[in-house]
Structure 1
Amino acid sequence: MISKAIHFISIGGSAMHNLALALHQQGYFVTGSDDEIYEPSRTRLEQAGLLPAQIGWFPDKIHAALDAVIVGMHARRDNPELIKALELGLPIFSYPEYIYQQSQHKQRIVIAGSHGKTTITSIILHVLKYHNREFDYLVGAQLEGFQTMARLSTDAPIIIIEGDEYASSPIDASPKFLHYKPHIALISGIAWDHVNIYPTWDEYVDQFEFLAEAMPKAGILVFDESDDMLDVIGQKERTDIIKIPYDAHPSEIIDGKTYLLTKNGGKVPVLLFGEHNMKNIAGAMAICDRLAITEDLFYEAISSFKGAAKRLEKIVEEGDRILFRDYAHAPSKVEASTKAVRQQFPGRKLLAAVELHTYSSLNKTFLSQYEGCLDDADIAVIYFDSHTLAVKQLPPITVDDVKLAFKRPDLHVFTDSVQLLEFLISQTSIAEIFLLMSSGNFGGLSLESIEEKLLVLSASK
């Protein structure tokens, strides 16, 4: 039985608590601290006996008997537990550093990019699980059939990692994906985001260039060739690196359902839709090919893939009305998701709502990047909370600032979640497709209220 003692500073984070659960399942002695823990992290940690008895930071939890301390980005540089760990000279890791340490003997496949990486990673995991392959993984969303969002074992020969470009820890500003040192890397596309970390386009693009340059000899770089900037990075000559470009998988929509068109003339029904998801499928297929999953095996598995949580996730469908929830928040993601729903359901009235919730989306200078991204919606809605701006210590923005940035005169902008909910409910008899996009929760918006209203409307017809 493994008996290593690991302490997590910021155990409540999405990736952090999943890594904590994965190590606990392997027999590690896991402890942790945090100053805020939300659902579903709270319940999942509590069920595993890992929920801290008290909220806050307690330096006495840090002692010389710890084998490692893993620190999350939610912690600050002056965190008292981190300071004590440094004073004691304990091994301190960001979670990407720790995952690398635990997977040095495995083949490491890293999925990166500004958008699509969660879905691509999820498709690969689904296909491998469908065909009973042994693998470890780290993914940024909950998937059907997987208990946790991370798995680390001693015997799996490969690990599939969703790697992002965020800073690794409060004491390590390098992008997470550089720590994984992949044998195979996929970059899905580049669209400027995270302006609080990368204030210029060039600085942002540089991170993906660094990832490509860090590929080892005999490494494999898979990339979306339809992305102009990424095509430049991907096609650059690198010694002994295999380059595999991909584009959207051929498909067609028949009566609101999407089918993949195979080389032999067959049609494979899939639950995903939209041009961006056809690219995601093609990227995942290219990776699976390198893992000895043939096209036939891939097509057999992909038909049952329902998607990752909050990625164009269908919440309810009753009669002619559908409610989707999506994690989209950056301009390119918002535009891609809105366009995908419009193409899937042409001729049906579409309401698309976006919450400005991230540092980038609430940055007045960055707002102009959203121009045109909701043009495919019949009814366009924006929500932001002035309290979020205060918490993130950002300068205030106004309703007029938002309207000017989106360049859409009929844009509906709300700063009160109650008024937003009232408006959405008022539209349930008008709009047929509802698409709610946010990395937050629209100020605690009750999806159940909208869902219930749609169900009542459908029942009355």
Structure 2
Amino acid sequence: MHIHILGICGTFMGSLALLARELGYRVTGSDAGVYPPMSTQLEAQGIALMEGYGPDNLEPAPDLVVIGNALSRGNPEVEAVLNRHLPYTSGPQWLQEHVLGGRPVLAVAGTHGKTTTASILAWLLEYAGQSPGFLIGGVPRNFGISARLGNTKAPFVIEADEYDTAFFDKRSKFVHYRPDVAVLNNLEFDHADIFDDLAAIERQFHHLVRTVPGEGALVINADEPALKRVLERGCWTPVIRFGDSADVSIGDWQVQHEPGETCRFTLHHGQHASHTTEWALSGGHNLVNALAAAAAAATQGVSVEQAGRALAEFASPRRRQELRGVVDGIEVIDDFAHHPTAIASTLSGLRSTQRAGRLLAVIEPRSNTMRLGTMKARLPESVSAADQVYWYQPATLNWSVDEVSRACRVDSRVFHSIEALINALVEEARPNDRIVVMSNGSFEGLHERLLEALTQRMRVSLT
């Protein structure tokens, strides 16, 4: 069977392509933007990629077309699918029908931290010997791949997104997954292009809650007011609570650590079990992610001690505080943060482990919500943990970043070209500095170009 995927280089659709290939299907796909790490991952699996959209990509006619939610009417390939009456479906629907049905499903939802939390959860299950399947919106470095079937009798971990499903199905993607265990990690306003307000997103999260069976479990962050409101709409499933509080009695699961110390911590499961561990990640937000994953893994028989030992060997997913390289003592770090809360959490986490040197933040406001300007009033405060901020003004952004830059309390500059941005960083960066690059896109290859430019600077200085 030949499956053709439209939007194949998106994190979800690319992962779905890997599962389809593992099931034995012939898989091809097209996309307007083909860039690593997804493009290299797909090519390594022998999946043919077509740059751009057009009717010719549908020759010979595939048996089924899976259409991503980035595609809409007017797209030439979508129009060809409809005009030729080719069978088509959405990614989430295909996943439910061909992968998820008949096995325990653990879905990880939340505005922030889905990729990291799902990666941790899959790793905890793997460490416990369960060989889980998973589909994650990134590449977990403990596995080196974003999706796999695993043991078909083992749990399947799915990163559960509230964004809509497809142009022909405007429900949130996660309502298709029918999880046995749903992790609700946090919830605030996002996706301003499709949701009017936070209440609209809370409604979608309650739709997810409605799909979890009474014999399943809801793993809920007890510190999130929005999630409390979601449960007040109705709950028919046992609730397991977790939170980052020193008072263990607040939730079923807690984490304790010294102030400012987030690399060494103790997991607590109520008053019954605890385990102290150390890991490579930083920031209080990642401790909460670990706590959520440990609580969810426990529903599948993973002990607190097993979870703690597994966390000590966990490597963050690619593009989540990922160290891309070090030149002349200058670290270049890649992070997916594209929301003020995520930006602030990332910078605060890195600041908590900062040694000598400065923290330089490089930010591209690229997401749909950012392009609409909905979050721009919160951006100046979100970068307060940095020493310097370098903003990039994409051509697609219809508002000026200069206003945000002027409101920053830290040294802040705006750039309209990647070349000028790289030149400024190369001129400014000094040994022991950390440069953290934050975008939900490729950023025009900024990371590698910056590392090359820093290398060239070092060579010149040595001559």
TM range (shorter): 0.7 to 0.9
Q: CA deviation at 1:27?
A: 1.4
Q: Which runs of 5 or more residues in structure 1 are unaligned?
A: 390-395
1:173 partner SS: strand
1:211-226 equivalent positions in 2, closer than 5 A:
211-226=208-223
1:424 partner SS: helix
Return the letter of the residue paired with 2:435: F
From 393, 397, 400, the counterpart of 2:399? 397
- In structure 2, relative to structure 1, the CA distance for the partners of 1:397 and 1:126 (3 Å cut) is same
Q: CA deviation at 1:348?
A: 4.8
Instruction: Confirm or deny that 1:286 pairs with 2:295.
Output: yes
From 131, 154, 157, the counterpart of 1:157? 154
CA distance in 2, matches of 1:36, 1:354: 20
Contact 1:109/1:161 (<8 A) preserved? yes
Look up the match of 1:118: 115
Return the letter of the residue paired with 1:401: E
Instruction: Confirm or deny that 1:308 pairs with 2:313.
Output: no
2:443 partner SS: coil
Q: Which runs of 5 or more residues in structure 2 are unaligned?
A: 245-254
Look up the match of 1:393: none
1:360 partner SS: helix
Return the letter of the residue paired with 2:400: T
Contact 2:327/2:451 (<8 A) preserved? no
Look up the match of 1:101: 97
Contact 1:350/1:377 (<8 A) preserved? yes
Instruction: Confirm or deny that 1:260 pairs with 2:276.
Output: no
1:21-420 equivalent positions in 2, closer than 5 A:
21-52=18-49, 55-58=52-55, 61=58, 66=63, 68-83=64-79, 85-86=81-82, 91-102=87-98, 103-152=100-149, 155-234=152-231, 237-239=234-236, 241-248=237-244, 249-252=255-258, 258-262=263-267, 267-316=276-325, 321-345=330-354, 348-386=357-395, 388-389=396-397, 396-403=398-405, 406-408=407-409, 410-420=411-421
Q: CA deviation at 1:402?
A: 2.5
2:368 partner SS: coil
Contact 1:223/1:230 (<8 A) preserved? yes
Q: CA deviation at 1:183?
A: 1.2
Q: CA deviation at 1:11?
A: 2.8
Contact 2:53/2:77 (<8 A) preserved? no
CA distance in 1, matches of 2:370, 2:29: 31
Stretch of structure 1 that moved more, 262-271 or 371-380 = 262-271
- In structure 2, relative to structure 1, the CA distance for the partners of 1:178 and 1:269 (3 Å cut) is same
- In structure 2, relative to structure 1, the CA distance for the partners of 1:36 and 1:306 (3 Å cut) is closer
2:134 partner SS: strand
Contact 2:186/2:227 (<8 A) preserved? yes
Look up the match of 1:20: 17
Cα offsets for 1:251-270 (capped at 9, x unmatched): 2479x871122557864111
Contact 1:59/1:80 (<8 A) preserved? no
Contact 1:329/1:356 (<8 A) preserved? yes
Contact 1:12/1:41 (<8 A) preserved? yes
Q: CA deviation at 1:277?
A: 0.4
1:372 partner SS: helix
Contact 1:317/1:323 (<8 A) preserved? yes
Look up the match of 2:423: 422
- In structure 2, relative to structure 1, the CA distance for the partners of 1:366 and 1:205 (3 Å cut) is same
Q: CA deviation at 1:366?
A: 3.3
Q: CA deviation at 1:185?
A: 0.4
Q: CA deviation at 1:15?
A: 2.3
Q: How many residue pairs are counted as aligned between the two chains?
A: 445
Cα offsets for 1:26-66 (capped at 9, x unmatched): 21133334444333444444444431567532268378882
RMSD of aligned residue pairs (Cα, Å): 3.1
Contact 1:34/1:57 (<8 A) preserved? no
Contact 2:275/2:305 (<8 A) preserved? no
CA distance in 2, matches of 1:207, 1:63: 39
Return the letter of the residue paired with 1:295: V
TM-score (norm 2): 0.86
Stretch of structure 1 that moved more, 126-135 or 31-40 = 31-40
CA distance in 1, matches of 2:339, 2:137: 16
CA distance in 2, matches of 1:65, 1:450: 42
Q: CA deviation at 1:346?
A: 6.7
Return the letter of the residue paired with 1:300: R
Contact 2:140/2:318 (<8 A) preserved? yes
Q: CA deviation at 1:356?
A: 0.8
Stretch of structure 1 that moved more, 188-197 or 45-54 = 45-54
Cα offsets for 1:199-258 (capped at 9, x unmatched): 32322332223222333222311121112212332466523x11111113212479x871
CA distance in 2, matches of 1:125, 1:381: 35
Q: CA deviation at 1:122?
A: 0.4
Return the letter of the residue paired with 1:50: I
CA distance in 2, matches of 1:242, 1:358: 35
Contact 2:136/2:147 (<8 A) preserved? yes
- In structure 2, relative to structure 1, the CA distance for the partners of 1:142 and 1:402 (3 Å cut) is same
Cα offsets for 1:398-428 (capped at 9, x unmatched): 2433335x44374212222112112212221
Stretch of structure 1 that moved more, 6-15 or 374-383 = 6-15
